[in-house]
Structure 1
Amino acid sequence: MPRYFLRLLLMLMVLLPAYSYASEKLQLSILEPFLDIHTGPGKNYPVFYIAQRGETIEIQKRRNEWFKVHLKVIGDRTKIGWVHRNALGLTMITNSKASNEKNSDDIVLAKDDPLLSTLFNPDLYFGFNYGQMSSADLVGIYIGKAITDSFSVEVQAGEFLGATAQGNTVAGVIAFAPFPQWRLSPFVQIGAGEIYTTARGTNSQQNAGSNTFLQSGFGLQLRLSDRYQLRLDYRHHNILTSTDNNGELETWHIGFSGYF
């Protein structure tokens, strides 16, 4: 079961970044004096057109932090290019039901509009990591949701392979970061999960089974950009068994994650 769960999480990591956040193509009114439109999705692509205040753009699709937009100019001519997310946040939605219900004197920037809240303030993140569990190599992925700037909930899954044993782990944790505004931010986590172990080699028919464990840990996360971060963490597992001899495991991980 954990192996299939791990594969499912991997599929979600691949597919969800490409998910369209709205079936309706949004139309946005430009509020700033100018809006730079690039030939491609990146700062290295040149600006080929400068849209002006009052013009309307339509979002076609997204690629990471860049959006492909369609702009009508004089007559039936059109311009198609790319706009960065930060610049897009300073526009205003014109074709949403919520916007039409607002007083005409109210101006709500796209970055503050509830319809696009997860676009400009994403709270769902995905990551993968590599680590060590005793003498075994460990690879894993994690999916989390930020509840507040400091608190998040997370599902973790991993596979380990050692000289004498192999298996899988699945856990759910709550994480707390006391200083989320810091670029290098510490965090702690606590949770519980299940470990599935199979012996290898001459002991392959012995010691196979699963156990519940309690997990605690701490680490550091380095913010690379608004969406991406590196993470180094230590986890301690208190493995609960049917006997009085509970086991302990320690793991170290280095990982990379992104918000979507």
Structure 2
Amino acid sequence: MQTTGNTITALVLALGACLAMPVQAGWFDQAAPLVVTVDRAYIDVYSGPGRGYPIFHALEKGEQITLLKSRTQWIKVQTENGTEGWVKREAMLATLDATGQTPDFSDASRADSVAGSFEVGAGFGDFGGADSTTLTLGYRFTQHLTIEARYAQQAGKFSDSEIIAGGLTHQPFPDWRVSPYIGLGAGRIKIHPSATLVDTVDREDSVLQASLGTYVYLSRRFFMRLDYTNHYLLTTRENNDEVNEWRVGFNVFF
């Protein structure tokens, strides 16, 4: 169908544009690095970004440090005398910025704490008038890109179906609490017509998927997911089929 072809083409172009979009700057890659003052008796400094690295230095209360970069739950810092090391992100809650307030690291941590993480979720919705249930397993290999496997079942009045598919989703603004995304995927759909129909032969076809949706972060690693997916079924009949699906669900990173 021409309408579906235009929809998928537009989403392909949108995905390409988002992939070419510059990454939104965070506090660690701005022109002027953030300088904070320690507001605790001491903060341990590690030689590397992990608990397995040794503690080689301690920051004292009143000492100023410059934040250089972020890696998951760790922040690289530099002291006034040039010593560099890694501090746990949670320890930054014991620092003050130039205004005397604790800096807000929540948005930055939301984006980079899930890079390199798996996510699993379940969603429920409407698949062209049929009730749908979807299970997803994804791997976020960058802040912006997730590769995802999906298994879905649909229960309708005239037929039931199931879909196994894989796809790629892109979040252009992963730091946002309400973070939109677009996705493309492909797989197979197996349709089981109702036994009361004349033609009860099961059918299996290829399916292309184009999605628009948003993550709504409820915590750093738990979120609600809303999306709309256009399914384009490549059938062996004279005309291909098109089914639209609306879905809501919950996912968790681990």
Aligned residue type for 2:218: L
Q: 2:53 aligns with which of 64, 72, 93?
A: 93
**How many angstroms does 1:203 deviate by?**
1.9
Structure 1 moving runs of 4+ over 2 Å: 32-35, 89-95, 105-111, 118-122
Are the structure 2 counterparts of residues 119 and 149 from structure 1 closer, same or farther at C-alpha, using a change threshold of 3 Å? closer
**How many angstroms does 1:163 deviate by?**
0.9
Q: Please tell me whether the aligned partners of residues 114 and 253 of structure 2 are also in contact (alpha carbons under 8 angstroms).
A: no
The two structures have a TM-score, normalised by structure 1, of 0.56
Percent of pairs with identical residues: 26
Pairing of 1:53-72 with structure 2 (within 5 A) = none
The two structures have a TM-score, normalised by structure 2, of 0.57
- Check if 1:235 corresponds to 2:197: no
Return 5+ residue gaps in structure 1 as ranges. Answer: 1-31, 36-52, 55-88, 96-104, 112-117
1:141 aligns with: 135
**How many angstroms does 1:243 deviate by?**
2.8
**How many angstroms does 1:206 deviate by?**
1.7
| SS, match of residue 161 in structure 2 | strand
Q: 1:179 aligns with which of 165, 173, 179?
A: 173
- Check if 1:206 corresponds to 2:184: no
CA distance in 1, matches of 2:235, 2:50: 56
The alignment covers a number of residue pairs equal to 163
CA distance in 2, matches of 1:239, 1:151: 25
Q: CA RMSD in A?
A: 2.9
CA distance in 2, matches of 1:140, 1:168: 9
Aligned residue type for 1:135: G
| SS, match of residue 196 in structure 2 | helix
1:125 aligns with: 119
Q: 1:196 aligns with which of 175, 190, 194?
A: 190
CA distance in 2, matches of 1:237, 1:138: 13
Greater displacement, 228-237 / 199-208: 199-208
Q: Note the alpha carbon deviations across 1:95-138, whole angstroms, 9 max, x for none.
A: 9xxxxxxxxx8744467xxxxxx988552110100011112101
Are the structure 2 counterparts of residues 120 and 238 from structure 1 closer, same or farther at C-alpha, using a change threshold of 3 Å? closer
